[in-house]
Amino acid sequence: MVSSSGTGSNALLRTSDGEQHNCGGWGHLLGDEGGAYWIAHKAVKSVIDDVDGLRISPYPTHNVWEVIREHFDADTRADLLPHAYKNFNKSQFAGLTVKLSALAYKGDELSRHIFAEAGSALAAHVVALARRSTAKRLRVVCVGSVWNSWDVLKPGMLNELNAKKVKCELELVRLKVSSAMGAAWLAANKINYDLPRDDEAFCQVFHKYRPDAVNGDAKVKHNGQVNGNLNGVENCGATIGFIGYFSLREKVTAATVVNDLKGRREKYNFIADVVAVSAASVVYIEIVDGRRIDAFTGKKLKISNGSGFIIKEDGLILTNAHVVVNKPNAIVKVRLTDGSTHEALIEHYDLQSDLATLRIPVKGLPTMKLGTSADLKPGEWVVAIGSPLDLSNTVTAGVVSSTQRAGSELGLQDRNIVYIQTDAPITFGNSGGPLVNLDGEAIGINSMKVTYGISFAIPIDYVKEFLAKHKTKSPQVSKRYLGITMLSLTPSILMELKMRNPEMPTDIQHGILVWKVIIGSPAFNGGLQPGDIVVKINGKPVHNTTDIYNILESTTGSLKIDAVRGRQQINLTIVPELH
């Protein structure tokens, strides 16, 4: 028997007399139970239904919701609608399952519950086909990415097998070779060419289900062995599985010689080498509201999170200003790679350059070496490291697209500053973390992602200037504060956004893209949302972020905001705070 669970799911049984039976495989609208898309869909639906009050989730949903938000780059449930309709992509949905699996292995109850349900669904496929066989023992070849999460599938699967009173023994195995070898064996069998089978060499048993172990009858003789041999049952009653645990070593030369690849992993694994050198200095940063409680957890409400990296062994940490600058009652917490958590003080910040330093009361910390961005070249490999969603040392890699993206285009008031543009994904969670070259040196600080394949980092040479300027603490000047991260919409960025988002109005010629809104900030309270495009403030057109800074400095009182949200024109009133 073959049980396949990747993006979708299906199962197949081929008996010793040549009969073939299928179960599932009807696509995501009619089936795919237990597949990655099914799991992801169930997770999203659980959160939405719980909030709507349609079906109350049996377990807290906040961790799953955070993973969903990060995966789809969404802040609200409404932001998920394009992914469910116009921009629906089954594979993208299914990709959420990898993150849910990580959450389940960390102990999240809702994720574990969903994976147990997936295990039950996959067991139902096995039960349906096992009834068509007279064999006393069946081998189930388990293929597809979902089976990699066996530990969290297992409870649901065993419960289903027990409930349906499966009478035969089952051996769940995973392949150690290409499935093409099984296809070759079937082809040889078709022309009556005898090829020997060596189950032990090409598959590994990872679980054995025995009805006698369930009903307590210890007298039933157990004929199978963990090494894959099936003793005492002729032909297993069925030719179980055609995907490829058959040995072709004696009569067939495999199309891919696995030994030829030996050593490549060690030779070319340069990304892992960079991470090994750099990751210990990367920290997770969480901002909580000291006066508000999360109804789900009973703990202080988390209002922002991001990453940073240690640059001095006495506890000095570098990050983005938008990660840590919040309302006055906010508490900044830093978690190190050893798992310890420390309350941090904000030493310096600059909202216009989006840089900040924190300090924690710990000595002897591992530090990140600061390189130089002056000699950075387009096409050079870089690695973005961070801790999105409380998941430590999450790594993405890409190449430098441009080293000369003008700061005036992207929101820095100092027009001499340029950004590094890269296709390495930068999300809310790894903002503030380091952008590292292949020498393990920080050459930038992750700042923002505009859309898929377009992310920006602040060059480390400018960061060094910021650090030098603040060696001696100067008096802080109160500034009017909105609580947003923003991006100037230059003609080139506008064109790129319109190409990637057909719903974007074609008549927008200028404006500011709101990339992030800090919870509890004036912008948040005034109704501004990520993805909004601000086109006017107090009746005056805005073309870049410098215009917004100038308006904040030259006015008092509330601001009248004209913005575009999707295809709608909206009008908001926001009262900035002094900060």
Instruction: Let me know if 75 is a catalytic residue.
Output: no
Instruction: Let me know if 390 is a catalytic residue.
Output: no
Q: Which of 431, 455, 488, 521 is catalytic?
A: 431
Taking the CA of residue 180 as centre, how many other CA atoms within 13 Å lie in the half-sphere pointing to its CB? 8
**Rounded to an integer, what distance in angstroms lies between the CA atom of residue 551 and that of residue 572?**
16
Q: Choose among 572, 471, 456: nearest CA to 522.
A: 572
User: What pLDDT is recorded for position 20?
Assistant: 86
| Residue 57: Cβ-neighbour burial (10 angstroms; 0-12, 13-18, 19+) | middle
Q: Which of 41, 83, 322, 348 is catalytic?
A: 322
User: What pLDDT is recorded for position 244?
Assistant: 36
- CB atoms < 10 A from the CB of 183, how many? 14
| Residue 563: Cβ-neighbour burial (10 angstroms; 0-12, 13-18, 19+) | buried
Distance of CA 498 to the CA centre of its chain: 26
Token reading at 202:
């090409």
Token reading at 64:
């799953």
Question: What's the DSSP call for residue 224?
Answer: B
**pLDDT 10s digits, 129-145:** 998 888 888 989 898 88
User: What pLDDT is recorded for position 222?
Assistant: 38
Taking the CA of residue 100 as centre, how many other CA atoms within 13 Å lie in the half-sphere pointing to its CB? 34
- What DSSP line would sit under 488-503, residue for residue? E--HHHHHHHHHH-TT
**pLDDT 10s digits, 440-462:** 999 999 887 766 677 888 899 88
User: What pLDDT is recorded for position 306?
Assistant: 86
Q: Residue with structure tokens 């990751």?
A: 279
**Domain annotation for the chain: domains and CATH numbers:** 2-237 (3.30.420.40), 276-359 (2.40.10.10), 381-469 (2.40.10.10), 480-578 (2.30.42.10)
Residue 379 region by backbone torsions, left for phi larger than 0, else alpha for psi between -120 and 50, else beta: left
Q: Which of 354, 387, 408, 447 is catalytic?
A: 354
Instruction: Let me know if 101 is a catalytic residue.
Output: no
By the 8 A CB rule, do 513 and 487 touch?
Answer: yes
**Rounded to an integer, what distance in angstroms lies between the CA atom of residue 518 and that of residue 529?**
10
pLDDT tens, residue order, the chain (579 aa)? 888 888 888 898 888 777 888 898 888 788 789 999 999 999 999 999 998 889 999 999 999 999 998 888 887 888 888 888 877 888 888 889 999 999 999 999 999 999 999 999 999 999 999 988 888 889 898 988 899 899 999 999 999 999 988 888 999 988 776 555 555 555 666 666 665 555 666 678 889 998 875 444 443 333 333 333 333 333 333 333 333 333 334 344 444 444 455 666 666 677 888 888 888 899 998 888 777 776 566 677 777 788 999 999 999 999 988 888 755 567 899 999 888 999 988 888 887 778 899 999 898 999 999 998 888 888 888 998 987 655 666 788 888 888 776 665 554 444 456 788 888 877 766 788 999 999 899 999 988 776 667 788 889 988 998 888 877 554 455 577 888 888 888 777 777 777 766 667 778 888 888 887 887 788 989 999 888 899 999 999 998 888 888 888 888 889 999 999 888 889 999 998 876
Classify strands 203-209 and 169-175 as parallel, antiparallel or unpaired. antiparallel
